[in-house]
Structure 1
Amino acid sequence: MTATDTRTAGAARALFRERFGTEATGTWSAPGRVNLIGEHTDYNDGFVLPFAIQHRTHVALAPRADHRIRVATGFPGAAESDAAPVEAGLAELHALFPARRDEIPEWARYPLGVAWALLEAAAIDPGSVAGVDLAFASDVPVGAGLSSSAAIEAATAVALAETWGVDLDRAALARVGRRAENEAVGAPTGIMDQMASLRGRADAAIFLDCRSLEAQVVDLGFAAAGLELVVIDTGVKHSHATGGYGERRAACERGAAALGVPALRDVTPDDLPRLAQLVDDVTFRRVRHVVTEDQRVLDTVRTLREQGPTAIGDLLVASHASMRDDFEISVPELDTAVDAALSAGAVGARMTGGGFGGAAIALVARDRVDAVRDAATAAFAASGFAAPTIFTVTPSAGAARD
């Protein structure tokens, strides 16, 4: 583990000791992710190209003698009352989710939802496995579009699977995490984030077919090309459980229904003129983003393999323009970050994540990182925005026991 990992794992153990009065028997961790390209394509059965990052969520765990589950968090920004342990019987989870999820604090729905979904996916009698206590600590920025939620889900899934002796592969655990987020939390997200967190590889991205869940490792070659991936966290918080994300998903479903296909994965750019005659302008533009974004993912993978990372800049820029103009999920802070990075010489830049806030990413020559940082900071100040948080991320390994 890195020094940061050691500190965060230690924080999880310390929180466990403080909240539960005993020692954890182990810690597991899972990373956040950056999506290099492929936004809002995952729940349309399309293609994405994320990579796991070095920022991780750690969970400390110990089995209990009964069949109950308790969870505690030390996440930054959680009110003390919200961070108090939340407890339920394992056999009670099926009654809580999804029908009574609002009775559970939102942060606790993630790990409790994973426990519920894992029990069901593995057809486990809740009375046949030990209860558990779980305590979480994280250095994944929350609300920045780096999938802090999937890091919680993936860490919980691998910890519980090992503790309960569940033999499910990583794709199945990703489906567990997605079900928890969709039904226990109420966020209508796809499976990209969970797959990236569970299947991440050092120095590589995961080219994921969200229909088949086939995943290919794609070497990024950033280090060899002298490139860094800079994250510009705008500080504008978002929540996938609120309306904007769900409205975009509903528009995609309307577009697919109008064309008589199961998902927008089955739509090509050649179908767009016909679609324009069938749906309203807003629905058309939402669909156009997804269809063209799928193609940009395929083009990015091919370009990385044939020409290397310095050649993908225009694809990143086109992706941002599509999200800004067609999907309308950018915000002024994200546009400012992207424009500033490009003006300072970035190879390419785009917003990343679900939108409505969060972070932008910029692919930058190593000797231009400071220039990009300075340009973004100055542009935010000139626009009257709060200063962004700017850092670099490294493609890293997926979920594992510490």
Structure 2
Amino acid sequence: MSDTLHQLSERFMSLTGSKPDGVWSAPGRVNLIGEHTDYNEGFVLPFAIDRRTRAAVGLRADGVIRVTSTFDNTSVELPLSGLDAARSAGEIVGWSAYPLGVAWALGQHGADLTTLPGADIIIDSTVPVGAGLSSSAAIESSVALALNDLWSLGFSREQLAKAGQLAENDVVGAPTGIMDQSASLLGATDSAVFLDCRSLDVTVIPLGLAHAELSILVMDTRVSHSHATGGYAERRASCEAGASAMGVSSLRDVSVSDLDRARELLDDVTFRRIRHVVTENQRVLDTVRTLNEDGPLAIGALLDASHVSLRDDFEISIPELDLAVETARAHGAIGARMTGGGFGGAAIALVPHARVPDVESAVRDAFAAKGFTEPVTFTVTPSTGAERNDIDGSRD
């Protein structure tokens, strides 16, 4: 963390004059496989990572919610009772839309914002922004868990994930699915979260990376992206149009065996968008089966096929992502793929521990040879989901 728990608590005291009631943290996530399947009611397999967002939160008596952060000293404050009007007027903007949006969404899920106490919130994070590691869901999940505890709402983690998604959809304006919030709230050590985005059933799948001496290497291209801009929304609209043409409510109901019929019904672009989602759903199921039966050393080809599908059928990769994936594979990675919403962000590679330095060096050299911005590379460890931390520092 950029601040330790003690430092964050001191920042809170300097802002408010009192100690926070607690500090809650939530992780970013890496999606192992299952890209753009979540909003199509399909399957995803993300895991929580060891880069986290912390929220120091304290209640206040005046019904006002105030948010600030260690990366932007500007404070934004609104009365809880006025959040809905501010949302309707488009007045909740910038990074503050994530925590304020969560408070509004909890109200939509039944919390009475006219009677609850206000809150001061300071956000601190080491989840890279714009890298496809869901820094947004880490903010949403840490704040949702904090307010759920302090307001004694009693919502389940699944309900908090829905609130985070609602905040992102209706306040931030990004038409994302529920995968990111689910991973951030439900993650477990050395495990992935197998999520059925239709039923919202979750199964924790052991990854066994440590036993297999494998690392997940993140290769951040440093090409920023935003889910609130057009490319993501256009892909989602294509999926909805394809489902309608196929006579189903979502692409979850289209199987690989239906693709020949889909090719006859759809124009080429829409067909390729649909083919990605349908085959990606199958790859998620195949990855879960392979992990259970053969372990992580056997999933490389599925990761590779996912990237090819995202690059050629869904067309959301960029030259930097392709180069990172190709270079990692050429220098010892078992499999590699872009991760996240696309149009920038990061790729991941499944790499034997001993080969990580070689892959990192090769990727940096390849980017330099192409004149690309130097990438940031680091390994991530599948980790626990959102939790309350001990301000005394024993969990720091």
Q: Secondary structure at the match of 1:342?
A: helix
Match of residue 152 from structure 2:
165
Match of residue 98 from structure 2:
110
Q: Structure 2: how far apart are the matches of 1:10 and 1:210?
A: 38
Matched AA of 2:84: H
1:13–1:135 CA contact under 8 A, matched in 2: no
Q: Structure 2: how far apart are the matches of 1:39 and 1:126?
A: 35
2:82 is equivalent to residue 95 of structure 1: no
Structure 1 residues 8, 46: CA separation in 2 closer, same or farther (over 3 Å shift)? farther
How much does 1:173 deviate? 0.6
1:9–1:137 CA contact under 8 A, matched in 2: no
Q: Structure 2: how far apart are the matches of 1:18 and 1:332?
A: 46
Q: Structure 1: how far apart are the matches of 2:321 and 2:54?
A: 29
Match of residue 394 from structure 2:
none
Alignment of 1:304-383 (within 5 A): 304-383=291-370
Match among 360, 371, 375 for residue 384 of structure 1: 371
2:92–2:171 CA contact under 8 A, matched in 1: no
1:8–1:58 CA contact under 8 A, matched in 2: no
Q: Could you give the per-residue CA deviations for residues 42-62 of structure 1, whole angstroms, max 9, x where no partner exists?
A: 000000000000100000011
With normalisation by structure 1, the TM-score equals 0.95
Q: Structure 2: how far apart are the matches of 1:362 and 1:93?
A: 42
Q: Structure 2: how far apart are the matches of 1:13 and 1:30?
A: 17
How much does 1:315 deviate? 0.3
Matched AA of 1:93: L
Q: Structure 2: how far apart are the matches of 1:164 and 1:143?
A: 31
Q: Secondary structure at the match of 2:132?
A: coil
Q: Secondary structure at the match of 1:126?
A: coil
Q: Secondary structure at the match of 2:301?
A: helix
Q: Structure 2: how far apart are the matches of 1:18 and 1:383?
A: 47
Q: Structure 1: how far apart are the matches of 2:331 and 2:268?
A: 35
Match of residue 223 from structure 2:
236
2:47–2:192 CA contact under 8 A, matched in 1: yes
Match among 111, 120, 125 for residue 108 of structure 2: 120
Q: Could you give the per-residue CA deviations for residues 173-229 of structure 1, whole angstroms, max 9, x where no partner exists?
A: 100000000001000000000000000000100110011110001110111011111
Q: Structure 1: how far apart are the matches of 2:346 and 2:334?
A: 17
2:368–2:374 CA contact under 8 A, matched in 1: yes
Query: What are the ranges of 5 or more consecutive residues in structure 2 without an aligned counterpart?
Result: 390-396
1:8–1:138 CA contact under 8 A, matched in 2: no
Alignment of 1:255-266 (within 5 A): 255-266=242-253
2:69 is equivalent to residue 73 of structure 1: yes
Matched AA of 1:12: L
Q: Could you give the per-residue CA deviations for residues 241-274 of structure 1, whole angstroms, max 9, x where no partner exists?
A: 0111000000000000001111100001111121
Matched AA of 1:64: R
Match of residue 167 from structure 2:
180
Moved over 4 A (4+): none
How much does 1:276 deviate? 1.6
The size of the alignment, in residue pairs, is: 389
Match of residue 198 from structure 1:
185
2:92–2:100 CA contact under 8 A, matched in 1: no
Identity over the aligned pairs, expressed in percent?
A: 60
2:69–2:122 CA contact under 8 A, matched in 1: yes
Q: Structure 1: how far apart are the matches of 2:111 and 2:350?
A: 45
1:338–1:349 CA contact under 8 A, matched in 2: yes
Match of residue 265 from structure 2:
278
Matched AA of 1:68: V
With normalisation by structure 2, the TM-score equals 0.96
How much does 1:329 deviate? 0.6
How much does 1:8 deviate? 4.2
How much does 1:168 deviate? 1.1
C-alpha RMSD of matched pairs (Å): 1.2
Q: Could you give the per-residue CA deviations for residues 51-110 of structure 1, whole angstroms, max 9, x where no partner exists?
A: 0001000000111011110000123xx4xxxx411111111111122x223x22320111
How much does 1:16 deviate? 2.3
Matched AA of 1:209: D
Alignment of 1:7-156 (within 5 A): 7-75=3-71, 78=72, 83-97=73-87, 99-101=88-90, 103-121=91-109, 123-156=110-143
Q: Structure 1: how far apart are the matches of 2:159 and 2:60?
A: 26
